[in-house]
């Protein structure tokens, strides 16, 4: 999508917002927010380089209520600092989940109409804010534990930090929910000149369709369990790693588990399977982790976590990129240990240690240490 259509999209959004405000006599409720995240990292051993890296992300936006059933959101990012991943740890999955090639962009902007047991949301959306989310996985800093690599590595779907036009519908059920989404098939290049509106839809870009069923299981005699099973289909054109030909369509499925083991200990696990190895960089993905709240009795809100991820590269991709001959690896693995603590005035400090096995762009395993400082208002 180019500049002029993007402007029309923005004006349409604002026009709908204004119309809805006029239709409701109650005052508009706006809740602005600002969140600052600062990362500092040091490569302790191996990887593709040496030294330290530092960067930061400013997340700005607002949530607003237009009427009893109509609400909205707008949010964007400003990123400052190093982007050099290949020359540092060399990992495919990226050691920090705030690294982005964009400088500043409008990330999401949407309107949501709620019904008695469902809602529909339309606008500029990001699929990883609604689908394949694990509450436990969100604790960890390596980007593998955010958007599933079996999605982010294979599709140009709207994910952090570049959204795209789309629509989502969710319906609450007796024991969980069902939700579907459709988005523009190409969210854009996500480079320094992409400010959020370079998405494309239809034709070779196609559309990204996804559906997810979630179960929330809880009774007086059991600990909370959440299970999610999802499938997606991308209707765009995909290039074969075998012969360079193009084919329409790419489908896969995933599953997510968040399980409480006690009042303070929880487990999460996710899998992603992409059957068509010929068109996918990662054809299988798996992660699992544990996290404890209040592991130090005097600090009940602190959280300690340990997690492992395994990204399996497709056979056709390995042969096409010659890593099969130069370094006969089939996967990249990450082990992360982290501790999240809150201190003065709402600031959070979160150190992280990551051991990266078979980093894609390095000849040695990488051992990296980092610390994240964040605060939100």
pLDDT in tens, 204-261: 999 999 999 999 987 556 789 999 999 999 999 999 998 889 999 999 999 999 999 9
pLDDT per position as a tens digit, 258-279: 999 998 999 999 999 998 889 9
> pLDDT at position 10, please?
45
State pLDDT tens for residues 351-369.
999 999 999 888 899 999 9
More confident call, 135 vs 218: 135
Beta strands in 174-302 (DSSP E): 176-184, 207-217, 225-239, 246-260, 265-273, 282-293
Cα 155 from chain centre: 13
Residue 30 has pLDDT above 50, yes or no: yes
Are 248 and 197 contacting, i.e. CB atoms less than 8 angstroms apart? no
Q: What's the predicted TM-score (pTM) here?
A: 0.89
* C-alpha distance from residue 18 to each of 11, 44, 111, 149, 241 (Å): 10, 53, 12, 39, 49
Per-residue pLDDT of 183-196, as tens digits, reads 999 999 999 899 99
Give the span between the Cα atoms of 137 and 34, in whole angstroms. Answer: 23
Whole-number average pLDDT of the chain = 90
Length of the chain: 377
Domain 3-11+35-376 has CATH 1.10.1060.10: no
Is the previous residue joined to 362 through a cis bond, with omega within 30 degrees of 0? Answer: no
> CB count, 10 Å around CB of 17?
18
**Helix, strand, coil % over all residues of the chain, rounded to 5:** 15, 50, 35
| Closest of 125, 158, 128, 127 to residue 146, by C-alpha | 128
Has residue 140 got a pLDDT over 60? yes
45-62 tens-digit pLDDT: 999 988 999 999 999 999
């Amino acid at each position: 999508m180019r500049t002029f259509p993007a402007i029309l999209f923005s004006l349409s959004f604002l026009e709908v917002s204004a119309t809805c405000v006029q239709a409701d006599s109650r005052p508009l409720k706006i809740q602005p927010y600002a969140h600052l995240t600062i990362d500092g990292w040091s490569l302790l051993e191996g990887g593709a380089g040496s030294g330290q890296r530092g960067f930061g992300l400013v997340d700005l936006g607002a949530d607003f209520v237009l009427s009893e059933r109509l609400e909205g959101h707008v949010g964007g990012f400003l990123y400052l600092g190093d982007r050099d991943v290949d020359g540092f740890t060399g990992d495919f999955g990226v050691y920090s989940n705030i690294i982005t090639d964009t400088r500043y962009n409008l990330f999401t902007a949407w309107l949501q109409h709620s019904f008695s047991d469902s809602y529909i949301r339309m606008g500029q959306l990001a699929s990883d804010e609604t689908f394949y989310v694990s509450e436990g996985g969100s604790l960890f800093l390596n980007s593998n534990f955010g958007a599933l690599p079996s999605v982010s590595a294979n599709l140009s779907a709207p994910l952090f930090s570049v959204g795209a036009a789309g629509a989502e519908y969710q319906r609450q059920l007796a024991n969980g929910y069902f939700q579907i989404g459709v988005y523009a098939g190409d969210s854009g290049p996500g480079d320094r000149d992409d400010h959020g509106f370079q998405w494309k839809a239809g034709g070779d870009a196609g559309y990204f369709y996804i559906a997810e069923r979630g179960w929330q299981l809880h009774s007086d005699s059991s600990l909370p369990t959440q299970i999610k099973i999802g499938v997606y289909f991308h209707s765009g054109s995909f290039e074969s790693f075998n012969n360079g030909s193009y084919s329409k369509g790419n489908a896969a499925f995933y599953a997510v588990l968040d399980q409480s083991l006690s009042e303070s200990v929880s487990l999460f696990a996710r899998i992603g399977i992409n059957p068509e190895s010929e068109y996918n960089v990662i054809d299988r993905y798996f992660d699992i982790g544990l996290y404890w709240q209040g592991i130090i009795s005097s600090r009940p809100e602190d959280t300690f976590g340990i997690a492992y991820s395994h990204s399996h590269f497709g056979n056709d991709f390995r042969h096409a990129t010659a890593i099969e001959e130069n370094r006969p690896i089939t996967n990249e693995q990450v082990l992360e240990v982290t501790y999240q603590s809150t201190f003065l005035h709402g600031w959070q400090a979160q150190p992280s240690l990551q051991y990266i096995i078979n980093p894609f762009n390095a000849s040695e395993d990488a051992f990296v240490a980092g610390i994240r400082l964040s605060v939100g208002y």
